[in-house]
Chain A
Amino acid sequence: MELNTASETVSFARELETESAKFYENLAQKYAQGKEIFLSFAKENNKNIVQTERAYFGVISDALEGCFSFKGIDTDNYSIETTLSEGRSYADALNMAVALEEKIVKFYLDAAEVSKSLMADVPQAFERIAKKRNERILKLKPLL
């Protein structure tokens, strides 16, 4: 589904954050060795939602191109796999996490790129979150 508006895009970002937070909470329950890091990611997801919404609600105004600033963002390109089937190894779970983070980083960077100079603080918030999520990948890979 192609996203049309800022509202829709922010809602989609919230969905990604919420879903991936649940995923990490699930991992924390299943894999004690990564519990701390997974829970810290889940907690950070909530901060990401706050950060995005603060940027959006702070700058959205009738002067900005809120309804026309996210052309070309198709949610199908950023669908994430969060269901961890029974019997999957810790390494499988980490690989899923890396794949998930890569998808979400791509979403934030693509959304930031298309809306740059139109949505003021929102693309900046997206870029900051993409950077934090990239750092997660760097933390996850050594655990593999």
Chain B
Amino acid sequence: MAILEEPIKGVPVIKNYIGGEWVESKGELVDVVNPAKYETIAKVPISTREEIDAAVEAAQQAFPDWRRTTPLARVRCLFRLKELLEEQFEECSRIQTQEHGKTIDESRGESRRGIENVEVATGIPSLMLGYNLEDIASGIDEYLIRQPLGVFGIIGPFNFPFMIPLWSAPYAVATGNTVVVKPSSEVPLSQRKIAELVDEAGFPPGVYNLVNGGRTVVNGMLEHPDIKGIAFVGSTPTGRDVIYKRCGETGKRVIAQCGAKNYMVIMPDCNVQRTIPALMTSFFGNTGQRCLSGTVLCIVGDDAFYNRFLDDVVDTTSKIKVGYGLDESTQMGPVRDVKKKESILGYIEDGIRAGAKLRLDGRKPTNLASGYPDTCFLNPTIFEDVTPDMRIAQEEIFGPVMSVIRAKNLDEAIDMANSTSFGNGHAIFTSNGKAARQFQYNIISGNVGINVGIVAPMAFFPFSGMKDSFYGVLHTQGQEAVRFFTESKVVIQRWL
């Protein structure tokens, strides 16, 4: 199969999109690197405090008119954006692969999931409806209306450069707010593409702004009095200790979706043929760089089942084709950058030192197609004989590493999963409804999979999370996003 054409040519210098204009940044430029080829594909600015302030000001200025724009007129801009995203679906997907490294199937999946949020947000005239009750007392009526708040900051992570800001931004603008989006400086090209389409869709200047950069931009958002709230997706230390904490201090609303350590619990009655592909996607999809990835494979059952099942898993995993995501035959791409690869290698070394048995050693990538440096590539790794107290069983590795643990029974498996500090996307594989219900009932996890390895809620459901995986009250996506981006105002009226 041929390598699909790369959409990013040359080395463009990325600009910010502020007040409906593409503005060159005065900040330092850093390289955006395609991790598969390890070549620079763009330069992104680390924008200054003045630039984030200018974006917030543009958004603040746009807010009163945008708020007064009827919900129907607002969603017409979103309908147009949806059309443009569909027209340029393939280009958007290939940009993700080029800047992030994920496979083209994964990028297309990400595009689809992102667009689905735009689709759901086009329902705002219905989703934003309030409610009322006549005669709460004699001759007195009471009703609730939802009003937008102002400017919101949206901070995206590196692992889903296209989709994650779309968990929030469409709902924010559809409800009448304005936004400033900050993508990860490692992967800014997908959000640049979205901003281009936003511009083409005809959103008024200032409604949607894009500022590239790092901490300065994040701090600028956190400290700016006109920012009413932040939707953040990233690591737990940043989400908890920086975003959540400082939003609390400054009275901003906050959604902070953070890290994970997801258990995939395998019961001996599972459908092995169906379970194994689901596990491959769960552990090694997106090269393990997602907060819904399986990280611990917890097998319940006797020695015969355990050995047979694990042999199948190891055999299938060993055949995963690693390579450039624009090669359609690739099943797993590189990790995003060298530092992340080093971190993953560090965890593998730690697992060996702690006494886990390396059943599949992915430290040295093999069978890479010629012409691709192995700089950011790893093969999948599988550890056996892992115990729940080991770091590889407790901490988020964010890479293609499976840690295999045994449990005597389902209760023990649930206890072990619940002993981690995270609660994001645990799953069970079983054909027994009672076991599934027991798991669903007792597991501490915002998203729960039953024979599903990646528990990614659809756009019309909230993307949940518990413990160190989530800080805040309301979540991104669907009705909860609508509530996050609106204030509930209650009116009690009596006409004399």
Point out residues on A near B: beta carbons under 8 Å: 1, 3-8, 11, 57-69, 71, 117-118
Q: Which one of B113, B277, B285 lies within 8 Å of A71 (CB-CB)?
A: B277
Quote the shortest CB–CB distance from A16 to chain B (angstroms).
14
Whether B274 contacts A67 by the Cβ 8 Å rule is no
Known: A57-B108, A61-B113. A8 touches B1 (CB 8 A): yes
15 more contacts with CB within 8 A, not counting A62-B106, A67-B281, A118-B278, are: A4-B329, A5-B103, A7-B103, A7-B108, A8-B1, A11-B328, A60-B108, A61-B110, A62-B286, A62-B454, A63-B454, A64-B281, A65-B277, A67-B105, A69-B277
Whether A7 contacts B452 by the Cβ 8 Å rule is no
Residues of chain B within 8 A of A117, CB atoms compared: 274
Residues of chain A within 8 A of B105, CB atoms compared: 5-7, 60, 66-67
Whether B106 contacts A11 by the Cβ 8 Å rule is no
Q: Which one of B110, B285, B290 lies within 8 Å of A67 (CB-CB)?
A: B285
Contacts A/B (CB < 8 Å), 17 sampled: A1-B1, A4-B331, A5-B103, A5-B105, A11-B328, A57-B89, A60-B108, A61-B456, A62-B109, A62-B160, A62-B456, A63-B455, A65-B280, A66-B105, A67-B105, A117-B274, A118-B278
Residues of chain B within 8 A of A11, CB atoms compared: 1, 328
Decide yes or no whether B357 CB sits under 8 A from chain A: no
Q: Which one of A1, A3, A66 lies within 8 Å of B106 (CB-CB)?
A: A66
Whether B329 contacts A64 by the Cβ 8 Å rule is no
Quote the shortest CB–CB distance from A91 to chain B (angstroms).
36
Closest chain B residue to A12, Cβ basis? B1
Whether A118 contacts B104 by the Cβ 8 Å rule is no
Quote the shortest CB–CB distance from B76 to chain A (angstroms).
23
Whether B332 contacts A67 by the Cβ 8 Å rule is yes
* Residues 1-49 of B contacting A (Cβ, < 8 Å): 1
Bound CA span A64–B286, Å? 12
**Binding site of A, secondary structure by majority: helix, strand, loop or mixed?**
loop
Of listed A4, A5, A61, A71, residue having the most chain B CB within 10 A: A61
Q: Which 4 A-B pairs have the closest CB atoms?
A: A66-B105, A62-B109, A68-B277, A61-B109
Whether A3 contacts B109 by the Cβ 8 Å rule is no
Whether B112 contacts A3 by the Cβ 8 Å rule is no
Residues of chain A within 8 A of B109, CB atoms compared: 60-64, 66
Whether A4 contacts B113 by the Cβ 8 Å rule is no
Residues of chain A within 8 A of B328, CB atoms compared: 5, 7-8, 11
Whether A57 contacts B112 by the Cβ 8 Å rule is yes
What is the interface size of chain B, counting residues whose CB is below 8 A from a CB of the partner? 31
Residues of chain A within 8 A of B359, CB atoms compared: none
Decide yes or no whether B330 CB sits under 8 A from chain A: yes
Whether B89 contacts A67 by the Cβ 8 Å rule is no
* Residues 264-290 of B contacting A (Cβ, < 8 Å): 274, 277-278, 280-281, 285-286, 290
Whether B456 contacts A67 by the Cβ 8 Å rule is no
Whether B331 contacts A5 by the Cβ 8 Å rule is yes
Residues of chain B within 8 A of A57, CB atoms compared: 89, 108, 112
Quote the shortest CB–CB distance from B105 to chain A (angstroms).
4
Q: Which one of A8, A60, A118 lies within 8 Å of B112 (CB-CB)?
A: A60
Residues of chain A within 8 A of B224, CB atoms compared: none
Residues of chain B within 8 A of A62, CB atoms compared: 106, 109-110, 113, 160, 163, 285-286, 290, 454, 456
Q: Mark B277-310, 1 if CB is under 8 A from A, else 0.
A: 1101100011000100000000000000000000
Whether A68 contacts B106 by the Cβ 8 Å rule is no
Residues of chain A within 8 A of B452, CB atoms compared: 63
Residues of chain A within 8 A of B106, CB atoms compared: 62, 66-67
Q: Mark B446-465, 1 if CB is under 8 A from A, else 0.
A: 00000010111000000000
Closest chain B residue to A56, Cβ basis? B108
Residues of chain A within 8 A of B108, CB atoms compared: 7, 57, 60, 66
Bound CA span A117–B278, Å? 11
Decide yes or no whether B321 CB sits under 8 A from chain A: yes
Quote the shortest CB–CB distance from A138 to chain B (angstroms).
33
Q: Which one of B274, B286, B329 lies within 8 Å of A118 (CB-CB)?
A: B274
Of listed A63, A69, A118, residue having the most chain B CB within 10 A: A63
Residues of chain A within 8 A of B456, CB atoms compared: 61-63
Residues of chain A within 8 A of B285, CB atoms compared: 62, 67
Residues of chain B within 8 A of A5, CB atoms compared: 103-105, 328-331
Quote the shortest CB–CB distance from B375 to chain A (angstroms).
22
Whether A7 contacts B110 by the Cβ 8 Å rule is no
Residues of chain A within 8 A of B281, CB atoms compared: 64-68
Bound CA span A61–B111, Å? 8
Bound CA span A61–B285, Å? 11
Residues of chain B within 8 A of A69, CB atoms compared: 277
Residues of chain B within 8 A of A59, CB atoms compared: 112
Residues of chain B within 8 A of A63, CB atoms compared: 109, 113, 452, 454-456
Bound CA span A61–B281, Å? 11
Bound CA span A31–B328, Å? 38
